[in-house]
A and B are shown apart, each in its own frame.
Chain A
Amino acid sequence: MTGAGPAALLRARGITKAFGAVVALDALDLDIAPGEFFALLGGSGSGKSTLLRIIAGFEAPDAGRVLLDGADIVATPPWARPINMMFQSYALFPHLSVADNVAYGLRRGGVAKAEAARRVADALAMVGLAGLDRRRPHQLSGGQQQRVALARSLVMRPRLLLLDEPLGALDAGLRERTGFELRALQRQTGAAFVMVTHDQEEALALADRVAVLDGGRVAQVGSPRAIYERPASRFVARFLGAANVFEGRAMGGGFDSAVAGITFAGAIGGDSLAVAIRPERIRIAPGASGANSATGIVEDTAFRGDDTLLVLRLSGAATLRVLHAEQDGAPPARGDTVTVGWDAADVVALAS
Chain B
Amino acid sequence: MLAPVWAWLLVLVAAPAAALVVIALAEADSGIPPFRLALSPTGFATLVEDAYYLDAVLTALRVAVTTSACCLLVAYPMAIGIARAAPRRRVLLLVLLMLPFWTGFLLRVGAWIGLLRDEGWINRLLMAAGITDAPLPLLYSEGAMLVGMVHAYLPFAVLPLFAALLRLDPALGEAAADLGARPATIFFTVTLPVTAPDAAAGFLLVFIPAAGEFVIPELMGPPEAQLVGRVLWQEFFQNRDWPVAAALAVALLALLLVPIRLFQRLGARA
Q: Is the CB of B180 within 8 A of A109?
A: yes
In the complex, what's the smallest C-beta–C-beta distance from A81 to chain B, in angstroms? 8
What is the number of residues of chain A that contact chain B, defined by CB distance less than 8 Å? 25
Rounded to whole angstroms, the CA-CA distance of A79 and B175 in the bound complex is 9
In the complex, what's the smallest C-beta–C-beta distance from B173 to chain A, in angstroms? 9
Further contacts, 5 of them, CB under 8 A, given A58-B177, A95-B193: A57-B177, A79-B180, A91-B175, A105-B180, A152-B175
What is the number of residues of chain B that contact chain A, defined by CB distance less than 8 Å? 18
Q: Is the CB of B190 within 8 A of A93?
A: yes
Closest to A156 in B: B179
Q: Is the CB of B179 within 8 A of A152?
A: yes
Q: Do A108 and B174 contact each other (CB < 8 Å), given the known contacts A84-B179, A95-B193, A156-B179?
A: no
Rounded to whole angstroms, the CA-CA distance of A95 and B168 in the bound complex is 12
Q: Is the CB of B172 within 8 A of A93?
A: yes
Q: Is the CB of B171 within 8 A of A91?
A: yes
Rounded to whole angstroms, the CA-CA distance of A80 and B180 in the bound complex is 6
Rounded to whole angstroms, the CA-CA distance of A89 and B196 in the bound complex is 22
In the complex, what's the smallest C-beta–C-beta distance from B84 to chain A, in angstroms? 14
Partner of A84, one of B172, B178, B181, B193: B178
- 17 residue pairs bridging A and B, Cβ less than 8 Å apart: A56-B178, A83-B178, A85-B174, A85-B175, A85-B178, A88-B171, A91-B174, A91-B175, A93-B194, A94-B194, A95-B194, A95-B196, A104-B179, A108-B179, A108-B185, A152-B175, A152-B179
**Across-interface contacts of B181 in A (CB, < 8 A):** 79, 104, 108
Partner of B169, one of A77, A83, A91, A95: A91
**Across-interface contacts of A87 in B (CB, < 8 A):** 171, 174-175
In the complex, what's the smallest C-beta–C-beta distance from A156 to chain B, in angstroms? 7
Q: Mark B52-80, 1 if CB is under 8 A from A, else 0.
A: 00000000000000000000000000000
Query: Does B176 sit at the interface, judged by CB under 8 A?
Result: yes
Query: Does A261 sit at the interface, judged by CB under 8 A?
Result: no
Q: Do A89 and B169 contact each other (CB < 8 Å), given the known contacts A58-B174, A94-B194, A108-B185?
A: yes
Of the listed residues A56, A83, A104, the one surrounded by the most CB atoms of chain B closer than 10 A to its CB is: A104
